[in-house]
Amino acid sequence: MKIGIFGATGAVGKELIKVIYDMKLPFESLSLYASERSAGLEVLLPDGKSEAVSDANAVDYTTLDLAFFAIGGGWPKENAKKATEAGCMVIDNSSTYRLDKNVPLVVPEINPHAIGDSMLIANPNCTTAIAAIPLYVLYKEFGLNRVMISTYQAASGAGAEGMKELEEETRHYLSGEKVGNKVFQYPLPFNVIPHIDVFMENGHTKEEMKVVYETRKIFEDPSIPISCIAVRIPVMRAHSEAFFVQTKKRVTPQEYRELLYQTKGVQVKDDPQNKIYPMPLTASGKYDVEVGRIMSSSVFEDRGLDFFISGDQLNKGAASNAVQIAFELLRTGRLS
Amino acid sequence: MKIGIFGATGAVGKELIKVIYDMKLPFESLSLYASERSAGLEVLLPDGKSEAVSDANAVDYTTLDLAFFAIGGGWPKENAKKATEAGCMVIDNSSTYRLDKNVPLVVPEINPHAIGDSMLIANPNCTTAIAAIPLYVLYKEFGLNRVMISTYQAASGAGAEGMKELEEETRHYLSGEKVGNKVFQYPLPFNVIPHIDVFMENGHTKEEMKVVYETRKIFEDPSIPISCIAVRIPVMRAHSEAFFVQTKKRVTPQEYRELLYQTKGVQVKDDPQNKIYPMPLTASGKYDVEVGRIMSSSVFEDRGLDFFISGDQLNKGAASNAVQIAFELLRTGRLS
């Protein structure tokens, strides 16, 4: 198949290229697109060749079978219809279509069937994607009565510019210079900012409500009560999340661990006495989401668990989930 | 009165000196003590004078009326009795006596009466001290059915050495050198470590259980269900904490805000549309704990709130609470 990556010079775009090669997604051609500003740049591919980036706005979608969209703003809205009408399937990483009832929102380990015959498939928000598998394991086996999540989100959630700002401004901090900010609302070095995306009427941010609504859509259960406090911290590219969960059925940490051992996409890191627990230091660059600190709930008696996870924001939080969707399209014969 | 500060060259000791001057705690003399290693060092006082540090192990407690203990390990155990028997009252910042039923654990805004005629008073753990006032306001007015706290804790919780390690190792990280760790279990720069203090049988850390047990003792209510996940992040000296609370009575964000406005020791920073919320950047070096992101609960219907706080770990988390206890001893005539 002929693949196009849109936003190929951004943090998610670059990770998509890496993951496509890593996971050996078969392709006939891989074309790179970005905004006019980046057109003409050469990108080094994992196989050692380099590839020129074309202007995303000048693309002819009839030349492509599958497009990965990793461009935000109004771009997906302007292009998804064009692409799909030209016969090019789209996996969109933006929030544009995630809650559109006509567009499937897919975590392939959970709801691959949702893809159906849709030409356009939405990739979940990074925080949702990282949380989805560990949470779904609990949901399926024990039911979810209440879920409370507080996040420890990396700079990469704001793209390559976010990571660059964190690094540069940390240098300024350490050399006693003025610490600035453009990408983030406040200087991020050695700080914590409980503000990601815009604030909504209910006091929550859009980021927080994405976790709530997207999780419900992926699990196909609009009734799960979920609350999320989303917080940016000075970490480069792995999100961590603390969970307090009330289940419908009785559950023990060991029962949950045993289920996780059998689950693809997660790595149990839960031997705290030996200093084994999830951390960005170990989760960064990895495909699996680390799950650990699994404990009996102190507030929901025997029907609840506390735990902690860490997952790569660019990989499972974005690129690898999208590439897994492409594999699902191959498996079901919708692409070849 | 004659005051001694023990551990005067440490992070909490230095903050105690600053806060005693800032808050104008009256004293006849202020003597500084530290381990033998630091004895002889000169410490610059806020009034411009400097003061030599004496060996803590060579002190004659009969020369003091009040000792602030900011030394950990076995030291408080070896010295508290010696001091109090010599007529010197002790305010101990370590965890040694906090859960001892014969020793009051005091947050002066909440349970000053607990001091009674005790010669030894325990100062709470920093995470507890920062959380106590905002949580007590809810407890008193609406009752607490369940409290879930996840923390974002600063390097200063591990003392001056912790802050130094974070700064130095961040330099190593940015210059591409090997990033090491001695104070923390893993390198802290751009990382998150869900491990503070040792792990207990129940899978929680001692730090997490301190929050649970100390809060119950300060509130004088052993029945409050509390769960805490304590997490170290790369921040210098202010702890943040995310709260999910189920109350016994109905509560709205506005009712809680209005109570907080009337509460000493907290500053409401809750105007997210104007980017006003708690952050280490603004809470560091301050006496008040910042409280914001106050939201109706999405999981406990109208009997719950979510919120976020940030407070200086060395100030309200340790030094200013201890100095407030000293003021309470003055107010009640136990010291003069």
Known catalytic residues of B are: 126, 239
Burial of B134 (0-12, 13-18, 19+ CB in 10 A): buried
Is the CB of residue B257 less than 8 Å away from at least one CB of chain A?
no
Strand A50-55 with B289-296, pairing: unpaired
d(CA B262, CA B245): 21
pLDDT of the residue at A158 = 95
Tokens for B28?
């006849």
B32-82 pLDDT, tens digit per residue, is: 999 989 999 999 999 999 999 999 999 999 999 999 999 999 999 999 999
Is the backbone of residue A38 left (phi > 0), alpha (psi -120 to 50) or beta? alpha
As a whole number, mean pLDDT of residues A193-220 equals 97
Q: Which chain A residues are closer than 8 Å to B204 by Cβ?
A: 295, 298
A136-145 pLDDT, tens digit per residue, is: 999 999 999 9
What does A132-150 look like in DSSP terms, one character per residue? HHHHHHHHHHH-EEEEEEE
pLDDT of the residue at B21 = 97
B122-167 pLDDT, tens digit per residue, is: 999 999 999 999 999 999 999 999 999 999 999 999 999 999 999 9
B2-124+318-331 has which CATH code?
A: 3.40.50.720
Question: If pLDDT is split at 50, 70 and 90, which confidence band does B252 have?
Answer: very high
Within 10 A of B281 (CB to CB), how many other CB atoms are there?
A: 18
The answer to whether the CB atoms of A298 and B231 lie below 8 A apart is no
Q: Domain ranges for chain B, please list them.
A: 2-124+318-331, 128-313
Report the Cα B275 to chain-centroid distance in Å. 27
Q: Average model confidence (pLDDT) for chain B?
A: 97
A193 CB-near residues (< 8 Å, 6+ apart): A184, A185, A186, A231, A232, A233, B279
Question: If pLDDT is split at 50, 70 and 90, which confidence band does A113 have?
Answer: very high
As a whole number, mean pLDDT of residues A205-233 equals 98
What is the number of CB-based contacts under 8 A between chain A and chain B?
Answer: 168
pLDDT of the residue at A151 = 98
Is ipTM > 0.85 here? yes
- Could you say which of A147, A199, A296 has the minimum Cβ distance to residue B273? A199
Handedness of CA B4, B7, B12, B14 (dihedral sign): positive
d(CA A27, CA A9): 20
Is the CB of residue A273 less than 8 Å away from at least one CB of chain B?
yes
Tokens for B252?
């709205």
Is the CB of residue A234 less than 8 Å away from at least one CB of chain B?
yes
B128-313 has which CATH code?
A: 3.30.360.10
As a whole number, mean pLDDT of residues A246-267 equals 98
Q: Which chain B residues are closer than 8 Å to A233 by Cβ?
A: 152, 192, 233-235
3-state SS class at B312? strand
Of the residues A127, A144, A150, the best mutation for testing chain B's interface (the one with the most B CB atoms within 10 Å of its CB) is A150
Q: Average model confidence (pLDDT) for chain A?
A: 97
Strand B29-34 with B50-55, pairing: parallel
Q: Which residue has the tokens 């808050």?
A: B23
Is the CB of residue B212 less than 8 Å away from at least one CB of chain A?
yes
As a whole number, mean pLDDT of residues B243-270 equals 98
